[in-house]
Amino acid sequence: MSSVTVKRETKETKIELTMDLGKALSPVLNSGIPFFDHMLNAMAFHGGFYLEVKATGDLEVDDHHLVEDLGLVLGDAFRQAREKNPSIHRYGHSIIPMDEALSEVVIDACNRPYWVIQAEFPQTHAGKFDLALVREFLIALTNRGGINLHAHCRYGTNSHHMVESLFKALGRALSMAHAPKAGVIPSTKGVL
């Protein structure tokens, strides 16, 4: 599968994202938000795809605009990848533990956005990162990517571990759903 590059520039953020689902190279991430780069790294690494992010934003306000816009841009990248190759597996599922935490992500890459997100983080922050932004990222990714996403942090006592297991499961489910499937568009309609 060929590489996809998406750019987005607003008064609040400037983002350039390159994704290649066919290459398992180490991610190159620079959003200016260390914890979020750590999560994107976990997602791409465990999903087995290349991700490069160059992003700046109004972090002096807070991280919200940049995190949400990164969700939009990543969603655009997955949608464009499906447009280039609509013969995919379509469905992806992953359950990932991290120490005491366990998360499950189920995906239907069907061009119909819908999301169900269940996560109750015992701590509100991981370092300085507001964990409420995880939901904002997932909603933006889902809506822009045309993905049906069910993300469930089943349990955990450490919010960092819970979010990390969620992002690892997200990467694996996205990769599985977008894996090529020879000659078949996975829909009884004949189109996603």
What is the CATH code of the structural domain delimited by 4-177? 3.30.230.40
pLDDT above 60 (res 187): yes
Task: Give ∠ CA 94-175-36 in degrees, rounded to 5.
Answer: 80
Instruction: Print the SS3 string covering 2-57.
Output: CCEEEEEECCCEEEEEEEECCCCCCCEEECCCHHHHHHHHHHHHHHCCEEEEEEEE
Determine which helix (DSSP H) or strand (DSSP E) holds 176, and give its type and residue range: helix 159-177
Reported as a pLDDT band with limits 50, 70 and 90, residue 182 is confident
Residues 80, 83, 88, CA angle at the centre, nearest 5°?
Answer: 110
Q: Using one digit for the tens of pLDDT, what is the confidence trace for 110-154?
A: 999 999 999 999 999 999 999 999 999 999 999 999 999 999 999
Concatenate the DSSP letters of all residues of 140-171 into one string.
Answer: HHHHHHT-EEEEEEEE-S-HHHHHHHHHHHHH
Write b or e for each residue in 153-176: b if 16 or more Cβ atoms lie within 10 A of its Cβ, otherwise e: beebebbbbbbbbbbbbbbbbbbb
pLDDT of residue 188: 67
For residue 40, pLDDT over 70 is answered with yes
pLDDT digits (tens, 9 = 90+) for 53-81: 999 999 999 999 999 999 999 999 999 99
